[in-house]
Amino acid sequence: MKKNLFINGNWEDGEKYSELKSPYSREVIAEIAQATKEQVNKAVDSAQEAFNTMKSLSSFQRSTILDQLVNLLTANKDKAAEIISLESAKPLKFAISEVDRTIETYKFAAEEAKRISGEVIPIDAAKNGANKIGFTIHEPIGVIAAITPFNFPMNLVAHKVGPAIAAGNTIVLKPASQTPLSAIFLAELLAQTDLPKGAFNLVTGSGKVVGDALVENEKVKMVTFTGSPEVGKNIKTRAGLKRVSLELGSNAGLIIDKDVDVDSIIDKCVNAAFSNQGQVCISLQRIYVHEQIIEEFTRKFKERTDQLVLGDPLDINTDISALISEGDLSRAKTWIEEAVTEGASLTTGGTIENQILRPTILSNVGNTSKVSCQEAFAPVVTVNKISSVDEAIQQINDSIFGLQAGIFTNNILNASQAIKHLEVGGVIINDVPTFRVDHMPYGGVKESGNCREGIKYAIEEMTELKLVVWNHN
């Protein structure tokens, strides 16, 4: 089945098409149009032409459009979840959860569209400010190029499209090459709303062609990207004066203090480490457990992990399915073998069953092993022993990444130490670092990114602040 580009409110053929295969079955599930540079520029032109109409809409109108999208997505929840599961091999139970989160994300965007406001500035507080008042307003920035990853093909798109519409911007979306079907489905739904023609455009294809054309186009005022640090750095280098919003990699760490009830946290840790095969930006990758309870934790963590069900992502009982590509499967297996060669112990997993990597726990892993210091993006987690929370904080900070980290503790001083000293964008107390709700400020430091998402905070990134000073003398 051929899937086309969506430009200026119309479906447009591609000059070439590429086969899209299911990561699980390896069967061809669609043929995806590969946009040319000229088609990308046409999409940008359409967005630019629609911008005056879009920014003239009232906040009520923008909110109503997003509410319409919410209603359409709610009515098509099952279909949306099946699309996610089919194109990404995300187990259906997690795909359903993603659709629920996506609906909530667009609801937040609809609400925030009505709350974009500035502030009054007391100009007369200055010596020469008498008889003057000042205030600020937020104006839409213009055409936004959104480049999104495969792991949450519907919700991470919502985190860019939702706030862009709420703020009155126009969008050109380039989804990940492996997961374009979710974005195409979104275009089909938006075409049924009151969104102005040309305000949303969808161009599928390679990053080399589509991504580069978007970054180079002078009419694009902002690039918002979620993906690898290498690509993010390249975009920022070449973007010139465009605003660039980057959500990048992570190898999230968790501290488990000696006073913790192990039974109460096992399920959370297993879900955080292995949900969506570990292909989550804040997937739990490094666990640091106090020496007094590490044996109990490791035993129970292994027992629960070994109960996970491997299989077809469209089976509601499946917990673990295929990684996004055969290349990622091979890479993850190699990293596991390298860690063992470097002295780590294989607690469980590490083998491939029907092209599915069994969820893997490694113990006593060195800081320089790839499974520890790089982003695994696979069902792999390390468990290391620590003698104090301070030691664990140092271990977590010994990383190029800094997205989120968590700590389980009943000691308020240790929790305070974690808040103060962990070098991350978010510290999660008595929960896993994988925790996220879609209206909280979300983003990292170091090579984890340079911005904050979460609808309210993304809107701030996607607007220009204008000052007005009024002389009323």
Mark whether 119 is an active-site residue: no
Helices 77-88, 59-75: axis angle to 10 degrees equals 80
Q: Which residues, other chains included, contact 233 with Cβ-Cβ below 8 Å and sequence gap of 6+?
A: none
Q: Which residues, other chains included, contact 349 with Cβ-Cβ below 8 Å and sequence gap of 6+?
A: 305, 336, 357, 358, 359, 360, 361, 379, 380
Marked catalytic residue, from 87, 98, 247, 453: 247
Q: Which sign, positive or negative, has the C-alpha torsion 44, 185, 312, 26?
A: negative
Residue 267 burial by Cβ neighbours in a 10 Å radius (0-12, 13-18, 19+): exposed
* Pairing assessment for the beta strands 345-348 and 243-247 based on DSSP bridges: unpaired
* Residue 16 vs residues 12, 99, 177: alpha-carbon distances, Å: 12, 31, 14
Question: What are the start-end ranges of the E strands in 227-344?
Answer: 243-247, 253-256, 286-290
Question: What are the start-end ranges of the E strands in 281-322?
Answer: 286-290
Beta carbons of 228 and 148 less than 8 angstroms apart: no
59 sits in which H/E element: helix 59-75
Mark whether 373 is an active-site residue: no
The owner of tokens 């053929």 is 13
Residue 404 identity (one-letter amino acid): Q
Of 183, 175, 174, the closest CA to residue 150 belongs to 175
Distance CA 252, CA 381 (A): 10
Read off the DSSP letter of residue 442: B
Marked catalytic residue, from 281, 375, 451, 461: 281
Catalytic residue list = 247, 281
